Copies of this chain bind each other. A is one copy, B any other.
Amino acid sequence: MEPIKNLSRLSRTLGYGFSNIDLLKQALTHRSASNKHNERLEFLGDAILQVVISDALYHQFPKVTEGDLSRMRSTLVKGETLTEIAKEFNLGDYLFLGPGELKSGGFRRESILADAVEAVIGAMYLDADIDTCRKLLLNWYKKRLQEIKPGVNQKDPKTLLQEHLQGFKKPLPEYQVVNVQGEAHNQTFTVECRVQELDGAVTGIASSRRKAEQLAAAQVLEKIKS
């Protein structure tokens, strides 16, 4: 039997009471649990979050370049940040997962949480409108928006590595996917990163090719700077 989830308690934590509670339920439902899962809502929520954060940053930083705005936006909407938000809401306690996923941990679990946050945003948008979403999201992101700053800290490891190498007129790093494991929705990517300065490759493993590249780049940066 499925455990009883207290969705009205979750609504209070989120700061939004759903007219149609089924939308919230769907947003919390992983594809492993039901055909009526949250992936389409996630598609919608991702775009809502992007536009709300873009607008907020645009007005908060009237003098900052597009590059810095983009980097700040990436920081605020990336999976790790969404996972943090999910944990602040104890979203994991409310997820509907199939038996295989109930036990999953590590970045698999983290990415399910991050996806659910986007899906909840999509559900709120459908239940209300974009202005309601905006107010809620600005509240969820209040502290993060207060703390974020333009500048070098926002750059991702691949960008930093590339800039570091270009600064020394070295060739660009080479990334190569050397292994992909698992089925379509639960894959693990192994990426090797090679630079002229290091013998052999440095490996990054993550749930997407992009993340694996970033992990590999971060390690290469540490090695060549140490």
Which residues on A are within 8 Å of B, measured CB to CB? 39-40, 42-44, 46-48, 50-51, 54-55, 58, 64-66, 69-70, 73, 130, 172, 174-177, 180
A43→B69 contact, CB < 8 A: yes
> How many copies of the shown chain assemble into the complex?
2
B177→A174 contact, CB < 8 A: yes
Contacts of A64 in B (CB 8 A): 40
Q: Is the interface of A mostly helix, strand, loop or mixed?
A: helix
**Complex Cα distance A70/B43, Å?**
7
B47→A66 contact, CB < 8 A: no
**Complex Cα distance A58/B47, Å?**
11
Interface residue from B48, B58, B176, B177 paired with A43 (Cβ < 8 Å)? B58
**Complex Cα distance A46/B172, Å?**
28
Given contacts A172-B177, A177-B172, contact A39 B54 (CB under 8 A): no
Contacts of A54 in B (CB 8 A): 43-44, 46-47
**Complex Cα distance A111/B68, Å?**
20
B55→A40 contact, CB < 8 A: no
Residue of B nearest to A125 (CB): B55
Min CB distance, A52 to chain B, in Å?
Answer: 9
B51→A66 contact, CB < 8 A: no
**Complex Cα distance A180/B173, Å?**
12
A69→B40 contact, CB < 8 A: yes
Min CB distance, A55 to chain B, in Å?
Answer: 7
Residue of B nearest to A177 (CB): B172
Contacts of A65 in B (CB 8 A): 39-40
**Complex Cα distance A50/B47, Å?**
6
